[in-house]
Amino acid sequence: MKPTHDAAAAPAAGTLVCRCQGRIADAAIDTAVGSVEAAAVAVVDRLCRGSGPAAHAAQIGCHREAPLLAAQAGDTPLQFFPAREYAAGGAAAAPRLAALIAMAQLPAPPPVDAVSYASRGRVAILGDGPRALAWAQRLHGKADGQVQVTVFAEDEAPLPAHSPRRVPVHRARQVAVSGWLGAFCIDWTPANAVDAAACTGCGACIASCSSDAIVRDGVAAYVDASRCNDKRRCVEVCEVGAIDFAFTPRRAEFDLVLDLADHPRLAMAHPPQGYFAPAGDALALAEAALAITDLIGEFDKPKFFDYNAAQCAHARSRIEGCSRCIDTCSTSAISADGNGVRVEPHLCMGCGACASVCPSGAMRYNYPALPATGAQIRAALAAWTRAGGGVPTLLLHGQAQAAELQAWAETEALPEGVLPLAVHDAASVGPDLILYALCAGAGRVAVWQGDKAPATYLAAARRAAGFAQAVLDGLGVPESAGRALALCGAPDAVLAA
């Protein structure tokens, strides 16, 4: 197929590749486009500077200028793929460019079910009282009055006065958080007999106390337990029932949580949507405050998994067997449930590690499903071969690593034999996909995890690579050593492996 070297001639649902003023060599473009068997490809120069109508394309080979081109296209949906980033380096980049075009031209995977969240803006701020109250004053009433804040003060520090009193304050201890965006539960035990949120500040309890054990700060009265003589006259005179010496545990529901503790209560690699724990990081705290104002309304995310309990090997006859998915999950979304497990879809972040470690196929990853990723691999490797490429190393990585690699590629050229392929999260790559890629023509398959990936993900990737390598060795595949790898680190180190 000959490339069309004129953007105006690009078909309404075709592919655009931009030379970027010579960053991608014409020789690479001619070879790559000539090897593509699907839709037409148009070649332009300086697309981001108005040389051609981006809105005429369905796929555009540039990630760097994606925001600008998307804005110029208006409501027209566009798909961007990293040709500009990965195909620099002269004619030798032709196989990689052909593979990128072939993957971009594949039909989109079937849609998956959605998981819905609904948030009304009820925010719980947890932490030391003065600091929590200060942030409550900043956030309360934002988003056109939709942000409604409640403070859980976890220290004995006197609270500053604020009038009018807009923010309820609970003096609390043993504060626990559970749930997700739109459905958080805060469980706590009152830290003082006086409920500061209910206290009107009338002073009746102070006047009735014969031991001078009740004082007040800027928010409410509170009882000094060391001075209280237990006459309980204060309980009788409080007409709003704000005083309770039983310290009965309480629970309340919220949509969002801002945890100001030095050590987050939900200490997991991927906390729930709507839970923010900046842990003393001033920039992260400011970002959390901005994010909170945006998380009001109804939201959807994909349902990333399918689970077939009949295939699950977790337990039988009260004898526990496999717990790999529970042990690997970084969000605590998976728990034991009789002979099987239960996955809470609102907590699932879509890493796919549960599916990659499942030995029975009971847990399947759906974003996309394995056949769709296999189709990408097959199309990419076939195009690579047609464009004259040798046997490549397929570098499977997640979206976070894609951004990192594209930034790296701004100043460096990828090694000739490396073909990057982004999945939603590299933790979803199991031995089945590694072996499929090797059968489809890859010389090596490397699964790349980021530096901050949970240890369970790294262990799962090494296990998957080790299993695939053992299969190759067991089959007697010639020169099989090192054909399945699990890598972690910066792009320089990964590409040198």
What are the DSSP calls for 229-245, one per residue? Answer: -S--HHHHH-TT--B-T
Report if pTM > 0.85. Answer: yes
Helix (H) or strand (E) holding 300: strand 297-302
Task: Place domain 118-193+247-299 in its CATH homologous superfamily.
Answer: FAD/NAD(P)-binding domain (3.50.50.60)
**pLDDT, tens digit only, all 497 positions of the chain:** 444 444 344 444 589 999 999 999 999 999 999 988 656 898 988 888 875 556 667 899 999 999 999 988 888 889 999 999 999 989 999 999 999 999 999 999 999 999 999 999 999 999 999 999 999 999 999 999 999 999 999 987 888 877 678 899 999 999 999 999 999 999 999 999 999 999 999 999 999 998 999 988 888 898 988 899 877 899 999 999 999 999 999 999 999 999 999 999 998 999 999 999 999 899 999 999 999 999 999 999 999 999 999 999 998 767 788 999 999 999 999 999 999 999 999 999 999 999 999 999 999 999 999 999 999 999 999 999 999 999 999 999 999 999 999 999 999 999 999 999 999 999 999 999 999 999 999 999 999 999 889 999 999 999 999 999 999 999 999 888 899 999 999 999 999 98
Angle formed by the axes of helices 94-104 and 26-34, to 10°?
50
Angle formed by the axes of helices 282-294 and 129-139, to 10°?
40
Residue located via tokens 């014409």: 26
What was the pLDDT predicted at 8? Answer: 40
Strand residue runs (E) in 26-127? 41-44, 57-60, 79-80, 114-119, 122-127
What was the pLDDT predicted at 368? Answer: 95
Please, what sign has the CA dihedral across residues 258, 259, 265, 266?
positive
User: How far is residue 26's CA from residue 43's CA, in Å, rounded to a whole number?
Assistant: 9
Structure tokens at 161: 């006065």
User: How far is residue 154's CA from residue 23's CA, in Å, rounded to a whole number?
Assistant: 58
Angle formed by the axes of helices 455-475 and 431-439, to 10°?
40
Kindly provide the b/e burial profile for residues 219-238, where b requires at least 16 CB atoms within 10 angstroms of the residue's own CB.
bbbbbeeeebeeeebbeeeb
For residue 209, which of 224, 191, 195 has the smallest C-alpha distance?
A: 224
Interacting residues of 290 by C-beta distance below 8 A, sequence separation 6+: none
For residue 490, which of 444, 442, 443, 453 has the smallest C-alpha distance?
A: 453
Strand residue runs (E) in 148-263? 148-153, 169-178, 184-190, 214-216, 221-223, 250-254, 256-259
If DSSP codes are grouped into helix, strand and coil, which group holds residue 424? coil
What was the pLDDT predicted at 163? Answer: 65
Interacting residues of 44 by C-beta distance below 8 A, sequence separation 6+: 5, 6, 7, 10, 16, 17, 18, 19, 51, 52
Structure tokens at 430: 């199991």
